[in-house]
Amino acid sequence: MHDSTNYEYAMTLYLKGLHYDPGNVAALEKFINSSLAWVSQNPKVKGPTKEQVRQVSARGTTEKYLTNLLEWGARGLDWHAGLKAMEAAAKLELNEAAYWIGQRVFLRMNQDPKARKDAYVTLMELFAKIGGWDLAVKAGDKAVSMDFTDQKLAAIVRNMSAQATMSKGGYEKTGTVGGFRANVRDMAAQRAKEEEDRIVKSEETLDRVIERALADYQSRPTDVAAIGKIARLLLERGTPADEKQAFDILMKGFDDTRVYRFKQQAGDIKLRVAKRKLGSLKEAADQDPGNAEKADLYERARKQYLEMDVEEHIERVAHYPTDLSMKFELGRRLFDLGRYEQAIEQFQIAQNAPGLSGAVQNYLGRAFLAIGWVDEAVDTFRAALNNHPSQGDDLGQNLRYGLMIALERKATEQRLLPAAEEALKHAQAIAIQNIAFKDVRQRRESLQALVKSLRESQA
């Protein structure tokens, strides 16, 4: 979504992912990149929209963290909002994420001549809380430089500086009973953490990480963080046995904790396995095109998969009734299954979802066409195209193409020359931008013939 410049929707998707894995710094960084792109695209916006806030607002420490992240990102990394996001991350013990946020907060504060001592003290205390002694000292030094009379603060910073030196050198446990062995254990723990944080892991490394995570999970099988971590790592390795084990762990986690996202992730695994089997059936049917039995087997399996997918999303919408993007996803699946009127209901509710309006209206127009409501389809496509910021991007071309199809059908059924002429203009506009777009070349030729026929009949 970020690559397609739909930054607002990309922000929503990254926040949804962080809801499942709040400590994922790679996803946090991508969320911030999309946020900055969205702010650049909408310079007059002074923060998140009400709909964006509604997508993440709920009770709970994780939800508060996500809300604070949204405020920070949508305000262009304003350091006041960043401090709140860092504090929320620290409360969740997301130390790596809190440190990552704090680095950027510190940079923005240093660029703001209005930043005061109290803010730097708060930042210092947050860095100290998560063990980020190096930046705790730097923030403390900045605060001291603003008030040299505060000797108590200066002493705190000196102590932190000593702590930072010991932590960096690994000396703090040496000299105690078992101190050297403790340092060795710390080094082993650090190596384990580094292995876990690597984006690309070797097979051997991933095996070790999973073994440690599984032991952690077995020691506290009802802990939400432990459940989420072992499931994520098993899916990262991704063997069929891993998928089954992750599914079982997630379903047990849901039964024990009643945290619905575990059941949702288990549902994703079930759908992934079913889709893989469906792909094998399609490949077999494609390789033997004359075999009616294989084609029928694939078609029945495809319908079963779509029905399973729809049922899964009906349940999700019931659990997240205010999440408009989920209603859109349910609508898409109902559309694919041919249940167009039910799809229309979902699309009409989801039209105001942040960053999704154009995509929703594209499907809504197609659904109207599928049930024969041609005028409603024309109005829907036209409004969506007029409101879309760029008619030349992929979504803009799809909206124009949908309007062209609806107008062509209206012209054919009602014998209306103006509709045919407008449809032809849209076909020509698409062809000028991208002659290889779908079947626009053939559509242009058929519309030319339709316009000619209608003109002759009205002459």
Return the CATH fold of 7-170.
1.25.40
pLDDT in tens, 99-153: 999 999 999 999 888 999 999 999 999 999 988 888 999 999 999 988 888 889 9
CATH of range 199-321; options 3.30.1050, 3.40.50, 3.40.630, 1.25.40: 1.25.40
> Residue 227 burial (CB < 10 Å; 0-12/13-18/19+)?
buried
**Token pair belonging to 376:** 């409603």
pLDDT band at 269 (very low <50, low <70, confident <90, very high): very high
Q: Whole-prediction pTM value?
A: 0.63
Q: What is the pLDDT of residues 384-420, one digit of tens each?
A: 999 888 778 889 999 999 999 999 999 999 999 999 9
Percent of the chain surpassing pLDDT 90: 61
Q: Do 199-321 and 7-170 have the same topology in CATH?
A: yes
Q: What is the mean pLDDT of the chain?
A: 88
- Is residue 378's pLDDT more than 80? yes
Q: For residue 136, what pLDDT is reported?
A: 93
**Residue 192's pLDDT is what?**
54
- Rounded distance between C-alpha atoms, residue 266 and residue 257, angstroms: 14
The predicted pLDDT at position 203 comes to: 80
- Quickly state the pLDDT bin for 7 (edges 50, 70, 90): confident
**For residue 175, what pLDDT is reported?**
42
- With H, G, I as helix, E, B as strand and everything else as coil, classify residue 295: helix
Q: What is the mean pLDDT of residues 241-257?
A: 96
Q: What is the mean pLDDT of residues 18-38?
A: 89
Which of 318, 337, 317, 339 has the alpha carbon at shortest distance from 328? 317
Three-state helix/strand/coil letters over 192-248: HHHHHHCCCCCHHHHHHHHHHHHHHHHHCCCCHHHHHHHHHHHHHHCCHHHHHHHHH
* Residue 81 pLDDT: 95
The closest alpha carbon to 238, from 208, 263, 213, 203, belongs to 203
- What are the tens digits of pLDDT across the range 286-339? 999 999 999 999 999 999 999 999 999 999 999 988 888 889 999 999 999 999
174-213 pLDDT tens trace: 344 444 344 434 444 555 555 554 444 568 888 999 999 9
Q: What is the residue extent of each domain of the chain?
A: 7-170, 199-321
pLDDT confidence tier of residue 172, bands split at 50, 70 and 90: very low
Higher pLDDT, 147 or 427: 427
For residue 332, with 0-12 CB atoms within 10 Å meaning exposed, 13-18 middle and 19 or more buried, which class applies?
A: buried
Phi, psi of 245 (to 5 degrees): -65, -45
Task: State the pLDDT at residue 44.
Answer: 77
Identify which of 419, 385, 390 has the alpha carbon closest to the alpha carbon of residue 405: 419
Q: Tens digits of per-residue pLDDT, 325-371?
A: 889 999 999 999 999 999 999 999 998 887 788 999 999 999 999 99
Per-residue CA distances from 211 to 204, 230, 237 (Å): 11, 9, 12
